[in-house]
Amino acid sequence: MAYRAPVDDMMFTMRQVAGLEEGIAAGHYADLADGAAEALLSEAAKFAENRLAPINRNGDQHGAKLADGHVTTSPGWREAYGQWIEGGWNAVTASPDHGGMGLPHLINAACTEMWNSANMAFALCPLLGFGAVDAVEAHASDALKKIYLDKMVSGEWTSTMNLTEPSAGSDLNALRTRAERHPDGSYRIFGSKIFITYGEHDMTDNIVHLVLARLPDAPAGTRGISLFLVPKFLVNADGSLGARNDVHCAGVEHKLGIHGSPTCTMVYGDKGGAIGWLVGQENKGLACMFTMMNSARLSVGLQGVALSERATQHALAYARERKQGRAPDSTTQGMDPIVHHPDVKRMLLTMRAMTDASRAICYATAGALDRSHRLTDAAAKKAAAERNALLTPVAKAFSTDIGNEVTSIGVQVHGGMGFVEETGAAQFMRDARIAGIYEGTNGIQAIDLVTRKLPLSGGQTVKDEIASIRESIEALRGSNAPALAEMAAPLGEAADALARATDYMLGALGAAPADALAGAAPYLRLFGIARGGSFLADIARAAHKSGESDPANAARIASARFFARNIAPGARGLELAVTEGASSVNVADAMIGA
Ligand SMILES: Cc1cc2nc3c(=O)[nH]c(=O)nc-3n(C[C@H](O)[C@H](O)[C@H](O)COP(=O)(O)OP(=O)(O)OC[C@H]3O[C@@H](n4cnc5c(N)ncnc54)[C@H](O)[C@@H]3O)c2cc1C
């Protein structure tokens, strides 16, 4: 089943939940006016469908291979990467000062979804590059920007993010990679990093590594970490490539999924020290890295959406073809396509509705990010930045959890054929699995949401979000369309559950932090369900207005209605897990040997 980018649904979501129309009217999305957004997405769709999707399977089957310190990517990938740069796709959001198009994050969110639906292992390389550009642009010296940024923006040189070490994963306090000051103002880096995505490959001439390391006199813990830019090849004054730097790939992991993406062990300083330059200030490296990680967290959330979308398209096509049994309302003599069985319908609608909800959350997060950069009024800018901060962990963790569930349901829809590799459904499930783990595990995202984001502006940011959820639901109540009006009650109950769980969390944070942490994951899920359901309601209202005779609009309403009736009721159970479940978690140490 070929991938078809759902450009109309993407546009619809951008308009109804991410503020595209309002932004065009207000001027901060002037660059997306007059059909510019549709035109760009249509071009991106062609590249995703025709160039990236066809090499997805061979990336899975061949994988990236290491020999003599060199990594070879799968057949056709190097050429596709060349076309990626030529098309300008690496430079959508970057500043025009460095050759970028300077377009909004919202448009890049839709593009990111497409790249990852088509070929997640390929798309992961530029995904990290976007974050690296943000970090270098925000924190590096002008001299470093002059040498590196244009080529990082164009994609001529790719970038990596080097945090993880064997004893420093979620917790960077234990980070051991060393940096030493050199008299010429540069630094020498020594140590090993593991799990470095595209740490080595053959798609470009140079690779720019962003590396966290510790200076000899640095304070202990995360307050003593600095960020360094370490190129694979040093760069001469005229911009040409010079000597090979002392950084090497010592291994490539064998993984469950994303085989086309080389996950590398990187060794720095084996032969006297890798030459690096400081980005930002000494000992302030983690803050710089967070610039990169925040951008990457939303993008990883979009990977969840992307794989959900791809798996849903795939499962739908299979279910329309595969015939087994007779459906309850069958009028034919023989077997019916399985799409007519109520249980298969339930699976397919779950896939569609969960995908739509996670897309809405991710695009709304991107919209808030744009407003935080593009608005001029200081108070509105701050409110947008806080909304972005609140929604980012939900976008990352909810969408990637959904990605795992939806791709797994996709295998189920295929029956036994889902479990064998032939249909491709299994690859989506394997590829999706990592997205809940990297860029801060989903458990860490839930902790971030509860401990850092709920307290923003004294709890007002989350209260404003809940008020906005309620506004969407109130708009359903007066509707004369029964399908819309019927959603108000279950979505309203989900909003009430979120409001009560939020009050509980804000109280528990001060009084019983272990209880707040125990309930963080179900709380994040509850947040995603209440927010996602109300976004689908906004989409359904707009679809009703523009005419249910259009099958795409009828499908949007059906998706929202299914969500309200079948998924939103789970909110009450999640609320109880948050408000009543903590002691059963925290007193069970004997059971798990903690
Ligand atoms: C394919 C792949 C690509 C990657 N790419 C990169 C990359 O490019 N650059 C890079 O630097 N890293 C990369 N990583 C590393 C990735 O970010 C880490 O694996 C991830 O952050 C988790 O760290 P860990 O594996 O050490 O797990 P751990 O930190 O050991 O976590 C194990 C479990 O314990 C939980 N846990 C840990 N601490 C806490 C806590 N305080 N509270 C509650 N639960 C906790 C976690 O949620 C998890 O479930 C990659 C990993 C993979 C597999």
Q: Which of 283, 298, 315 is the last residue of a domain?
A: 283
pLDDT tens for the chain, 594 residues long, are 899 999 999 999 999 999 999 999 999 999 999 999 999 999 999 999 999 999 999 999 999 999 998 999 999 999 999 999 999 999 999 999 999 999 999 999 999 999 999 999 999 999 999 999 999 999 999 999 999 999 999 999 999 999 999 999 999 999 999 999 999 999 999 999 999 999 999 999 999 999 999 999 999 999 999 999 999 999 998 999 999 999 999 999 999 999 999 999 999 999 999 999 999 999 999 999 888 887 899 999 999 999 999 999 999 999 999 999 999 988 888 999 999 999 999 999 999 999 999 999 999 999 999 999 999 999 999 999 999 999 999 999 999 999 999 999 999 999 999 999 999 999 999 999 999 999 999 999 999 999 999 999 999 999 999 999 999 999 999 888 999 999 999 999 999 999 999 999 999 999 999 999 999 999 999 999 999 999 999 999 999 999 989 999 999 999 999 999 999 999 999 999 999 999 899 887 878 888
Question: Is beta strand 274-279 parallel, antiparallel or unpaired with respect to 206-213?
Answer: unpaired
Residues 76, 185 within the same domain: no
If you take atom 14 of ligand 1, which residue's CA is the nearest one?
A: 195
Residues 175, 248 within the same domain: yes
Cα–Cα distances in Å, from 180 out to 173, 194, 213, 215, 349? 19, 21, 9, 6, 56
Q: Are 323 and 169 in contact (CB under 8 A)?
A: no
DSSP state, 49?
I
Q: Cα–Cα distance between 2 and 335 in angstroms, integer?
A: 26
438 lines ligand 1 (CB under 6 A): yes
444 lines ligand 1 (CB under 6 A): yes
399 lines ligand 1 (CB under 6 A): no
Is 13 inside a domain boundary? yes
Q: Which atom belonging to ligand 1 lies closest to the Cα atom of 441?
A: 47
Residues 179, 218 within the same domain: yes
Q: Are 324 and 335 in contact (CB under 8 A)?
A: yes
437 lines ligand 1 (CB under 6 A): yes
Task: Indicate if 156 belongs to the active site.
Answer: no
441 lines ligand 1 (CB under 6 A): yes
Question: Is beta strand 157-162 parallel, antiparallel or unpaired with respect to 206-213?
Answer: parallel
**In the prediction, which pLDDT does 290 show?**
84
> Distance from the CA of 379 to the center of ligand 1, in angstroms?
36
DSSP state, 160?
E
Residues 133, 176 within the same domain: no
Cα–Cα distances in Å, from 128 out to 53, 121, 274, 307, 439? 20, 12, 22, 18, 10
Residues 451, 526 within the same domain: yes
If you take atom 38 of ligand 1, which residue's CA is the nearest one?
A: 170
154 lines ligand 1 (CB under 6 A): no
Q: Which residues are bridge partners to 413 per DSSP?
A: none
- Return the CATH number at 104: 1.10.540.10
Residue closest to 574 by CA, chosen among 538, 536, 531, 539: 531
Is 252 inside a domain boundary? yes
> Distance from the CA of 168 to the center of ligand 1, in angstroms?
9
**In the prediction, which pLDDT does 331 show?**
87
CB atoms near residue 152 (< 10 Å):
26
If you take atom 4 of ligand 1, which residue's CA is the nearest one?
A: 195
**In the prediction, which pLDDT does 594 show?**
80
If you take atom 17 of ligand 1, which residue's CA is the nearest one?
A: 438
Residues 88, 202 within the same domain: no
> Distance from the CA of 506 to the center of ligand 1, in angstroms?
27
Q: Structural domain tally of the chain? A: 3
Residues 46, 13 within the same domain: yes
Which one of 113, 200, 405, 439 is the catalytic residue? 439
Is 542 inside a domain boundary? yes
Is 51 inside a domain boundary? yes
> Distance from the CA of 258 to the center of ligand 1, in angstroms?
16
Is 28 inside a domain boundary? yes
Domain that holds residue 234: 157-283
Q: Which of 266, 283, 300 is the last residue of a domain?
A: 283
Is 370 inside a domain boundary? no
**In the prediction, which pLDDT does 550 show?**
95
Residues 135, 168 within the same domain: no
pTM higher than 0.85: yes
Residues 229, 272 within the same domain: yes
